[in-house]
Amino acid sequence: MTKDEMIEWFKSAPEGSRHHRMVWTAHKIARLTGATEGGAYQMLLGLLIEADETAAGLDLRDFDDRS
């Protein structure tokens, strides 16, 4: 599973808080890859931070729970 695929899973997660979307995505990644959900969550978090820093088309402010 590529980084882009993981980010797409996050983008397609059901509506909800950013945390709930990340948990949902981590669960899907874990089921597909055999990783633990905690490991998948940490990996996803790192990817989202990296994507935000490199301006890869994902702005984490779009998922800000405070808005």
Q: Could you tell me the residue ranges of all domains in the chain?
A: 3-53
Residue 61 is predicted with a pLDDT of 66
Rg of the chain over CA atoms, in angstroms? 11
Single-letter amino acid code for the residue at 58: L
Q: 41-59 pLDDT, tens per residue?
A: 999 999 888 877 675 555 6
Residue 67 pLDDT > 70, yes or no?
no
Separation between Cα atoms, residue 53 and residue 26, nearest integer Å: 21
Residue with the bigger pLDDT between 67 and 38: it is 38
Q: 24-45 pLDDT, tens per residue?
A: 999 999 999 999 999 999 999 9
Closest alpha carbon to 43 in 16, 12, 5: 5
